[in-house]
Amino acid sequence: MQPADVQPDSITGIKNKRVFIETYGCTYNYGDTDKLTAILESQGCVITPSPDDADCILINTCIVIEKTEREMRKRIAEYQDRDLFVTGCLPKIDRDCGGTVIDPDIIHGHFQKTGARLSGNPAILQVAQGCSGHCTYCITRRARGPLLSHPLDEIVGELEGQVRGGAVEVQLTAQDLSAWGIDRGERLSDLLEAIGRVPGSYRVRLGMMNPDTLMPILDAVLDACKNDQI
């Protein structure tokens, strides 16, 4: 069921409601959910622990394998009689999957406008979206698109905010972490060196990497990882 006052791809119309969020998939998806939570709370919403207490449902979907996609479609069908919002990878390949679509591509921009800082333990720090490859069999590449790296200064600023908020473990995440910076003329080792200069008592955990993008920079990444915080 699509609320009449909410436009597709928009989250700004969800205000002053009780929202239940159900998240599936990779760490990046959970990072999107953290940002969605901050956005919704800035709009007067309350995140509920149960769908029974919610005015609307938000499902953050994953489709990395066929079995998971079937489960996503099953969950969406189960909530069709509710005010349902769907984000994540599934609506990127099938906009008619059900519910009102919140395009995951808009989440980061909306989050930045809130001025909120994410903390939590572990804290999730998204550094890039998409992939630099062109594998025709990969549905994630279709869903998340070409590589789009976040600027280094923006990432460092977000990390500083997480550390000030009490994070002691920060997970760097992307669909391919070792591809970070390729589209900006930079390398992952540059980012890790900058992160290593952020003061505080915290550790950084590195997420998924692809051998094709890691091997050319492996020595530089290993050197950067000599920092005790990484």
Q: Which of 54, 76, 108 is the last residue of a domain?
A: 108
Q: Which one has a higher pLDDT value, 21 or 121?
A: 21
Determine contact, residues 84/1, Cβ cutoff 8 Å. yes
Residue 214 to residue 179: CA distance in whole angstroms: 7
Query: Is residue 5 a part of any domain in this protein?
Result: no
Answer yes or no: is 153 within a domain: yes
Instruction: Report which of 122, 121, 126 is spatially closest to residue 111, judged by C-alpha positions.
Output: 126
Whether residue 123 is found in the same domain as residue 200: yes
Q: What confidence tens digit (pLDDT) does each residue in 56-74 have?
A: 999 999 988 889 899 999 9
For residue 113, is it within any domain?
A: no
In a domain, 206, yes or no: yes
Query: Domain end: 89, 108, 127, which one?
Result: 108
Quick one: what percent of the chain has pLDDT higher than 90? Answer: 69
Instruction: Work out the angle at residue 10's Cα, subtended by the Cα atoms of residues 105 and 39, and round it to the nearest 5 degrees.
Output: 80
Number of domains in the chain: 2
**Domain harbouring 124, CATH code:** 3.30.750.210
139 close to 64: Cβ distance less than 8 angstroms: yes
**212 and 132 in one domain?**
yes
DSSP state of 206: E
Q: 3 in a domain, yes or no?
A: no
Q: Are residues 172 and 194 in the same domain?
A: yes
Put simply, whether the predicted model's pTM sits higher than 0.85 gets the answer yes
Q: What is the DSSP string of 77-122?
A: HHTTTSEEEEEESHHHH-TTSSSEE--GGGHHHHHHHHT-----SS
CATH number for the domain that contains residue 27:
3.40.50.12160
> Facing residues of 56 across strands?
19, 83
Q: How confident is the model at residue 8 (pLDDT cuts 50, 70, 90)?
A: low
- Host domain of residue 83: 18-108
Domain closes at, from 90, 108, 126: 108
φ and ψ at residue 30, rounded to 5 degrees:
-65, -30
Check pLDDT > 50 for residue 106.
Answer: yes
150 shares a domain with 92 = no
